[in-house]
């Protein structure tokens, strides 16, 4: 969803002619306004980048909670969280990692529901100001009884546990892959360094031979 960004300038300052030097306090206020505007521009630019990076996700940053369905994922992203992401590359990497699994998680939950004969009235995914993720299924009812009794509460709990387990397994798997990748890079660097040492040794050996011959 687009986010509106406006630039607000003081009417009093606007009436000043360009040749009049502004007082220090007014100049500082203008700098603050420009800084705020630039910050909002940065957030808007990152938001657009995020939408392009995850085209299958609908981002709601305007407050409230919008549900996902079986064919479309909606992530309710706190605007405060969005501001942090736009200004903190490390935090952004963590949040984007979570976002990269949202489509698959949504498909799995609806797949589980179909498997268990459960109809979902909607599924919500939220990220709070600190990037904490929360998901839940609402309006659950069993297809054969059409009710929402305690059996659906048990199913919802099971789905939540399965989803969390899958996310943890995914993270653990990717961490192992990163470790293996670093080990491979380290091994390649060590082999390259050994090759350079061997080449240097050969050059030094050749130099010594030439010097010895010249002495004769």
Instruction: List pLDDT tens digits, range 85-106.
Output: 999 999 999 999 989 989 988 8
- Neighbouring C-alpha atoms within 13 Å toward the C-beta of 122: 10
pTM for this structure?
0.57
The verdict on residue 188 lying in a domain is no
3-state secondary structure of 18: coil
Q: Is residue 210 part of a domain?
A: no
Domain membership flag for residue 190: no
The three-class DSSP label of residue 78 is: coil
Residues of the chain with pLDDT under 50: 1-22, 27-28, 30-35, 146-148
CA distance 211 to 213: 5
In a domain, 160, yes or no: yes
- Tally of domains in the chain: 1
Domain coverage including residue 122 = 20-183
In a domain, 163, yes or no: yes
Is residue 206 in some structural domain? no
Q: What pLDDT is recorded for position 121? A: 80
Residue 68 per-residue DSSP state: B
Flag whether 200 is in a domain: no
**Cα separation values, 74 from 53, 124, 178, Å:** 15, 7, 29
Q: Distance (Å, rounded) from C-alpha 44 to C-alpha 46?
A: 5
137: three-class secondary structure by DSSP: strand
Q: Do the domain assignments include residue 177?
A: yes
């Amino acid at each position: 969803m687009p986010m509106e960004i406006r630039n607000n300038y003081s009417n009093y300052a606007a009436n000043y002619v360009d040749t009049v030097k502004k007082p220090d306090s007014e100049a500082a206020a203008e700098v603050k306004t420009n800084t705020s505007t630039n910050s909002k521009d940065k957030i808007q630019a990152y938001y657009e980048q995020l939408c392009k990076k995850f085209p299958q996700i609908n981002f709601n940053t305007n407050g409230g909670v919008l549900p996902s369905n079986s064919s479309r994922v909606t992530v309710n992203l706190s605007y405060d969280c969005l501001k942090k992401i736009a200004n903190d590359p490390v935090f952004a990497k963590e949040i984007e990692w979570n976002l990269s699994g949202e489509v698959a998680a949504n498909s799995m939950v609806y797949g589980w529901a179909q498997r268990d004969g459960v109809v979902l009235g909607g599924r919500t995914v939220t990220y709070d100001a600190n990037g904490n993720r929360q998901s839940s299924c609402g309006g659950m009812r069993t297809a054969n009884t059409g009710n929402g009794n305690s059996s659906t509460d048990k199913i919802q709990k099971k789905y939540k546990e399965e989803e969390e387990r899958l996310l943890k397994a995914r993270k653990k798997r990717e961490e192992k892959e990163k470790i293996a990748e670093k080990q491979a890079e380290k091994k390649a660097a060590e082999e390259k360094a050994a090759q350079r040492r061997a080449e240097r040794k050969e050059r030094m050996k050749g130099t010594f031979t030439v010097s010895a011959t010249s002495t004769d």
